[in-house]
Chain A
Amino acid sequence: MAAVPGISKGGSVAEELAFARKASGLVRGLSMWDAFGVGFMNQGLTPSIWVMTSLGVGVYLGGNLIWATIISMILAGIGFPLVWGVLGGSMPRSGGEYIYNSRIIHPIVGIGESFGNAFVWIMWIYVLAPWTADPGMTMMAQFMGWQGLADFATNLWGMFAIATVANIMAFLFVVFGIKWFARIQKIVMLLGIGGCAVLLAAICFYNKADFVAGWNSIAQQYGSVDYAGFLKAANAEAGGAIPNTWNWFDTFGVMVAGSWLFAYSYCITFIAGEVKRPDKTIILSNLFAIIVPGVFMLWAAIGLYHMVAFNFFSATQFVDNAGSDLGGAYTVPWSTSFIGLLAMVNQNKILLFIAVMSFLAFNIWWIALSYLAFPRILFAWGMDRMGPKWFTDINPRFASPVKNHVLCFVLGQIMIAVYIFWQNEAMQGLAVTALEIFSVFGVTAIAALLFPYVKRSKGIWDASPYKTWKLLGIPVVTIGAIVDLIYLGILAYFFFFLPDPDKRLEGFTASTAILIAVLWIAGILWYFFWKQRSKRVGVDVSMTYGELPPE
């Protein structure tokens, strides 16, 4: 049954200057709030604040969290909503960037890039499910004083068990359909945001004097190094690199680590075919899913700088990121993560429980979002005859692609086992972020850049609601793509190509390059296999990528 945009009821007079007759239907089900929820939850608020502080400031010791957040909000806030919002609103189909890249650039590029992204979503399962154990459950155990749980969560079999439970939970959250998913998402989002807000509000209660006093008291309680001693030891371990004030270079480095908080709302496009008013919903929900985490990060930064001196904060993040105990000098049973810093001044177990629950809620939901994306990528391939017919099977009871979900679960579980038991180092080295920056964000930004100009997608552009959106005569999607590419360029430089390899957030190794090449080649071979197979039965799959002339 079909929707009448702007008119929700089948009555006689629905708007001031419009008439509607009694006729069936409404098309799209998900609201702006639901779409925002998907995008926002994929930014992973609490764990991403941890990544920005621990990985960001932990490596770039002179980074300023406030400026890094503001620059991220500007660059990502312009680039991502314009690229993903305009593409999603112009081609409102579920399936993500595969749709855009195959239509604008070429089906081969679409499928090659999409193969990489499908693998990325599986990678997130095997990276994030073990995070539920460590740092998630270990952090909880440390704060609550549950030594047994801490030992279990850091043991290989214990980690595998917890990761498996997380993987099963994520699978169950999504497999029963969008109704079940949306309801649980609201609860998880409430828990996650609420927990994070409580955590940040608590941080704001304390000033530097409170913190020094709290630190020294805890240090004395656990026989650990005191405030001054910690700073000295951390500085020595960092080679004397901990600065007293911030600098721009390190601030950009922190911004790069903060991309986890700003660059992932794009997964809204995986449900583009299911949202109401996609022309507005996708672009605005993308924007809000960047602004809201940005506001939280600013809150965190202001609170943390109010509570902890700049150089000491950098020292704690350096130690947390390095996983160091400063040669046995730091013996407090929890880490110096930003949540751990709160625990130095407030050991209220309910407060700390809520804070860690927020971390766990977002982390598990990240895994659930892999189950949202991966099956829909396969579904989109299937619809274009780029895969077996069962890729498009929708379970009539749950209204979801259950077979694709099961495949996702099996692949995820196998990879979790391989990751935990055998290939931890090697699989980390595969550099999931490299694959995303080059293969997903980069290619899609180029597609957006070219969108108004290429003949292949002229019909789609002509019908696009954004065709008239121009600034100084330049289509805003092109401007957005340029801003996005600048942002991605900065990410790529700091992640992989900095001259000092110790300062790179992820190395671009030979295995990374091989992985990207293998996935692209596999995707291209997949395309030709299915094209040939369809041709044998008289179907030309290229017709699914074309645009029909409207006149």
Chain B
Amino acid sequence: MIKLFFVTDIHGSNECYRKFLNALPIYGADVAVLLGDLTGKVLVPLVEKGNDTWECTLMGQHRDIATKEELADIKKITENAGYYWVHQTRDEFNETRGDPAKIDALFKSLVFARVQEWLDLADERLEGKPYQMYMAPGNDDWFVIDDMIDNAKLVHPCDKRVVQVDNHEMVTSSYSNPTPWQTPREMSEEDLETHLRGLVGQIKNQETAIYNFHVPPYGYSLDLCPKLDENLTMAADEKIHAGSLGAKRLIEENQPLLGLFGHIHESRGAQKAGRTLLINPGSEYSEGILKGVIVMLDKKKVKDYVFTSG
């Protein structure tokens, strides 16, 4: 039997990532899987006001920063929430603000730096330790991230391939069906199904397989999210299914042992689809809470599972 610890969608949160690494010995995990989305979405310029003071907008609040201690605190809060920060003068800020290409370049440099920092930290923490760690991006993550994971020393890449986890073949896909945000890794439903079919076709034994899809299957309780209006603001009280029909069809046809999903942060839960146990551990990265699930895997069955929140 192996103990698999699965976490997803930490979106650049330093706090969650560090908790993830620390959780492996605490939970006694044999295998740890961290799926995307790995990268954050907000960049906070710390705009200089002169005389060692700054200002910024953090979580919708304007902040005046009067001391270096406050500045250090703001940087830490920013990183822990999955955001990125950069020092800018007012002129630099105004210049960046008016140029989407500059914003994009700035984002990329900070995002890649943090992913590299994480991989280096994993190498340091996993050295000589018995557990295996797998990592793959999600639909929000740029493609350069794949190369970075591929080049890591002790973190194993698993996207778009089948890897052997003890007695189980595990197949991973970082793609999602279309979202309202047109993120880097999206496909039409038809293309996504073709892509997923190609991947699961490589599996020799579906009965013991693990499907690791970023996007959950459509129509179960793991893909419910607030409905968005035309302005991409969400309805307070209306939930819709946002999963993939292709993923649903493949799971129902092939009936693998286990399905691990993410993408829809608010739909933490577990549900059976025939013999397949489907799990989405959810995410509350911006609060610094590491949501996960530990699955006890026998050769041919899921012995049990427990959700974690740390």
Contacts and interface: CB of A to CB of B under 8 A. Distances in A.
A549 B21 CA distance: 10
B269 A394 contact: yes
A2 B11 contact: yes
A16 interface: yes
Contacts of B60: 5-7, 15
B19 A18 contact: no
Contacts of A547: 310
Interface in A503-551: 534, 537-541, 543-544, 546-551
A255 B225 CA distance: 43
Nearest to B270: A392
A375 to B, nearest CB: 14
Given A396-B221, A399-B224, A31 B266 contact: no
B263 A21 contact: no
A459 B22 CA distance: 13
B67 to A, nearest CB: 14
Interface string A334-359: 00000000000000000000000000
B308 A543 contact: yes
A24 B181 contact: yes
Interface string B12-52: 00010011001100111000000001010111110100000
Q: Is the interface of A mostly helix, strand, loop or mixed?
A: loop
Interface residues on A, range: 35 or more
A278 B62 CA distance: 19
Nearest to B228: A26
B47 A17 contact: yes
A310 to B, nearest CB: 45
A405 interface: no
Interface string A317-349: 000000000000000000000000000000000
A90 to B, nearest CB: 9
B128 interface: no
Interface in B250-269: 263-269
B235 A395 contact: no
B37 to A, nearest CB: 7
Contact of B233 (A1, A8, A27): A8
Contacts of B265: 1-3, 25, 27
B103 A21 contact: yes
B249 to A, nearest CB: 16
B271 interface: yes
A546 to B, nearest CB: 6
Contacts of A25: 179, 181, 225, 265
A17 B45 CA distance: 6
Contact of B18 (A389, A538, A544, A550): A550
Interface of B: 1, 3, 9, 11, 15, 18-19, 22-23, 26-28, 37, 39, 41-45, 47, 55-62, 80-81, 93, 96-97, 100, 103-104, 106-107, 139-140, 176, 179-183, 219-221, 224-226, 228, 231-239, 241-242, 263-271, 283-288, 290, 294, 296, 303-310
9 A-B pairs with least C-beta separation: A6-B60, A548-B310, A182-B237, A394-B221, A17-B57, A23-B41, A548-B19, A537-B304, A10-B181
